[in-house]
Amino acid sequence: MLLLWVGLQPLQAQRSLTGRAVKMVDGDTFDLLAGGTVYRIRLAGIDCPERGQPYYREAKDALGSWCALGTLKVVYSSKDRNGRIVGDIYTTGGNYINQKLVEEGMAWHYTKYSSDQKLAAAERAARQGRRGLWKEAAPMAPWDWRRRGRK
């Protein structure tokens, strides 16, 4: 029997952390206290307005409201270049916080790093419903804002 392994890539093991949010850094990053250790968590697949952009404070507050609901579960398989754990965040009630922020118009689906169809559909619905940052005539994506700031 001949097995062909061409094109297969090793799967990254998914891991999880369970704990409580102790600090909101911005709309898509927070600190999680789990097992006596504080971890910096970056929500996967989304990008929220940066400090100085419209809806920055609202996005940060929305994340804080979701995180305040109690114990959180972070499902992840990687860290970013800044050492933050990049993951999907769930409340004990099963709410997928990454998606909720996009649905509320507090975040963009970050298609450069995500092909999650739930996030794509949530952004389409938020745009159509003119929720949150989609009330603006021409909201600037955070990645464009950051690039503009580096020039």
Give the residue numbers annotated as catalytic, written as ranges.
42, 50, 84
Nearest to 38 by CA among 51, 21, 61, 57: 21
Q: In terms of Cα–Cα distance, which of 146, 67, 135 is closest to 106?
A: 135
For residues 41 and 28, the answer to whether their CB atoms sit within 8 Å is no
CA distance 87 to 97: 11
**Measured distance CA(86)–CA(2) in Å, rounded:** 38
